[in-house]
Amino acid sequence: MDTEPEFVAFAWNDRYATGIAEVDEQHRQLVNLINQIGGICAMEKDIRNALPILIELERYTQYHFSCEEKMMELFQLNSSHVESHFSAHEYFRQQMTKAAEIFSGNSGGSMQIMTHLLGYLTNWLVHHIMGMDMRMAREIQALQAGASHSEAVNQAAAAMEKSADVMLDALNALYGKLGEKTLEVMRKNQELEQKQKALIELNEQLDQRVQLRTAELLEANQQLLANNRDLKLLNERIEAAHAQLLQSEKMASIGQLAAGVAHEINNPIGFVNSNLGTLGKYIADLGKVLDGYGRVETKNPGQGYAEVDEIKRTVDLPYLLEDMPNLLKESQEGLTRVKRIISDLRDFSHVDESTWQFANLEQGMDSTLNVVTNEIKYKAEVVREYSGLPEVECMPTQINQIFLNLLMNAAQAIDSKGTITIRTGVQDEEVWVEVEDTGRGIPQDVITRIFDPFFTTKPVGQGTGLGLSVSYGIVKKHGGHFDVKSTVGKGTTMRLWLPRQRCLTPPAD
């Protein structure tokens, strides 16, 4: 199979060698890239093939310029040469950027532009190598040989006078090779003109069809715009309804918490009040005893002990003296319980902690349990199997909201009496908190939907389907995830995983 001949627009030889190995190797790489562009021009290939070459040429040129500029700074070359050399580099960078923009556009460039670009590249590189780069190399070589900076400048200037003929020979050879392709390009252009005439006639026939189709598309587009407006309005209504449902869910949770807290507070306050009432009666009885003592002592000083003893027996004075401390103790315990409930409610809500911080998840779970105990204690026994978790960087209020949702779901899944088991653990850089219930379980055909907004397995009127959806959003924001296992008739296990430290870039869904 015949292969296409390689087109060499710029043939490298020792005339272009500066004598600095690193620079010469980079020049050969640039020449190779330029020759690849020349091959596309010569063979009239699809000019889109030139784009990756241009990108590579731009990248490699930047690297080459950077090497030369560092070299000039290292040897502290003549300032006027360095300034002009840097300016030449910058101008070439701008030209390469423009060329890349032309060929990266949707329409690309033409073969004529490609030919002009090739001429510019070869002309610039030959001039730059034989001029500025040779001047730079001669000054560096003189400095390396021990010359002073002024002597190096003079030697470099003298050496440059010999390079003019070489540069002209290279330019003539370049444009001679490009001229060999001119006649062939003109012939192909004539063929293209004939094809273009045929295309013009075809376009005239297609124009009417295009106009008709354009009118149809315009009408369809207007209908689509109208549909989009309707859809946007509908989406706005859905978002408003969603926001209202979220607010309703939040308010329902707050109301449920308030009812539970009120119930828990009423119990200790009730028996405190009862005990205090009883204590008042005891004190009144003790008053009778003391009054009896007073009357007896007034009538018969030193006598009357039988009457006093009868009063003691009637009011059971020894029992009063024994029971009063107990009543006071119970009253204090009741008040302590009230304080603990309020404290747990405060810990659960974390009203002053709405930022990221390190928190003890097991304490957060305990606080949440104390807040919702009225919803759980009549349906399930709570078993804690804590492992002693390290503190986790999180937003405690939001994590407690997740615990609340998991505990309430577990309690509502138990029809009569069951067990809710809470476990914790650590694995590598993650911690996990698990809530297992002995409830109804979740069918396998719907378990993948439990985190969808508005989806619920509860009876109508008992849930909005937003609890787990909100929890899922919180967990994703923390960089964690859920594991769910469930068996119908046996129960469900929800395991929450969280990183021990804040995840700044949570994984996408």
> How many Cα atoms occupy the beta-carbon half-sphere of 370 within 13 Å?
19
The confidence score (pLDDT) of residue 467 equals 66
The confidence score (pLDDT) of residue 356 equals 85
Q: Which of 180, 210, 233 is the last residue of a domain?
A: 180
**Residue 189, pLDDT above cutoff 70:** no
Beta carbons within 8 Å of 26's beta carbon, 6+ residues apart: 60, 63, 64, 67
Residues 55, 38: contact at Cβ < 8 Å?
no
Is position 304 within any domain? yes
**Residue 365 shares a structural domain with residue 336:** no
Q: Which of 151, 180, 209 is the last residue of a domain?
A: 180
The confidence score (pLDDT) of residue 371 equals 77
Is position 196 within any domain? no
Is position 6 within any domain? no
Rounded Cα distance, 347 and 302, in Å: 62
With a threshold of 0.85, does the pTM exceed it? Answer: no
Phi, psi of 249 (to 5 degrees): -60, -40
For the stretch 334-391, pLDDT in tens is 766 666 666 565 555 554 445 788 989 998 898 888 878 877 888 889 999 999 999 9
> How many domains does one find in the chain?
3
The confidence score (pLDDT) of residue 382 equals 92
**Residue 420 shares a structural domain with residue 486:** yes
Q: What is the mean pLDDT of residues 243-257?
A: 56
**Residue 360 shares a structural domain with residue 483:** yes
Rounded Cα distance, 318 and 336, in Å: 28
- Which pLDDT band, with edges at 50, 70 and 90, does 398 fall under? confident
**Residue 328 shares a structural domain with residue 379:** no
Is position 244 within any domain? no
The confidence score (pLDDT) of residue 465 equals 52
* Phi-psi label, residue 46: left if phi above 0, alpha if psi -120 to 50, beta otherwise: beta
Q: What is the mean pLDDT of residues 459-477?
A: 68
**Residue 323 shares a structural domain with residue 443:** no
- What is the average pLDDT score of the chain? 76
pLDDT greater at residue 429 or residue 1: 429
Which of 225-229, 299-303, 328-332, 471-475 is the least confident region?
299-303
Q: What is the mean pLDDT of residues 443-471?
A: 66
**Residue 40 shares a structural domain with residue 91:** yes
Q: Which helix (H) or strand (E) holds 266?
A: helix 182-299
- Which pLDDT band, with edges at 50, 70 and 90, does 186 fall under? very low
Is position 19 within any domain? yes
- Which pLDDT band, with edges at 50, 70 and 90, does 93 fall under? confident
Rounded Cα distance, 361 and 393, in Å: 10
The confidence score (pLDDT) of residue 420 equals 93
Residues 51, 102: contact at Cβ < 8 Å?
no
Angle, to 10 degrees, between the axis of helix 396-413 and the axis of helix 467-477?
Answer: 150
pLDDT greater at residue 483 or residue 285: 483
For the stretch 267-321, pLDDT in tens is 676 667 677 667 767 777 776 776 776 666 667 665 556 766 777 778 777 777 6
Q: What is the mean pLDDT of residues 87-108?
A: 74
Which residue segment(s) compose the domain that 360 sits in? 352-499
pLDDT greater at residue 74 or residue 270: 74
Q: What is the mean pLDDT of residues 385-404?
A: 89
**Residue 333 shares a structural domain with residue 359:** no
What is the CATH number for 491?
3.30.565.10
- Which pLDDT band, with edges at 50, 70 and 90, does 323 fall under? confident
The confidence score (pLDDT) of residue 23 equals 93
pLDDT greater at residue 47 or residue 435: 435
- Which pLDDT band, with edges at 50, 70 and 90, does 1 fall under? very low
Residues 53, 37: contact at Cβ < 8 Å?
yes
**Residue 53 shares a structural domain with residue 89:** yes
Cβ–Cβ contacts within 10 Å for residue 31, how many? 21
**Residue 243, pLDDT above cutoff 60:** no
Percent of the chain with pLDDT over 90: 18
The confidence score (pLDDT) of residue 476 equals 87
- Which pLDDT band, with edges at 50, 70 and 90, does 146 fall under? very high
Rounded Cα distance, 342 and 371, in Å: 9
The confidence score (pLDDT) of residue 251 equals 46
Is position 1 within any domain? no
**Residue 272 shares a structural domain with residue 362:** no
The confidence score (pLDDT) of residue 203 equals 78
The confidence score (pLDDT) of residue 3 equals 47
What is the CATH number for 131?
1.20.120.50
Rounded Cα distance, 297 and 293, in Å: 6
The confidence score (pLDDT) of residue 284 equals 72
**Residue 294 shares a structural domain with residue 358:** no
For the stretch 432-453, pLDDT in tens is 999 999 988 888 877 777 777 6
Rounded Cα distance, 154 and 138, in Å: 10
**Residue 168 shares a structural domain with residue 20:** yes
Q: Which of 132, 162, 180 is the last residue of a domain?
A: 180
Which of 114-128, 233-247, 358-372, 405-419 is the least confident region?
233-247
The confidence score (pLDDT) of residue 302 equals 56
Beta carbons within 8 Å of 279's beta carbon, 6+ residues apart: 324, 327, 328, 331
Is position 213 within any domain? no
**Residue 76 shares a structural domain with residue 140:** yes
Is position 392 within any domain? yes
Q: What is the mean pLDDT of residues 476-497?
A: 90
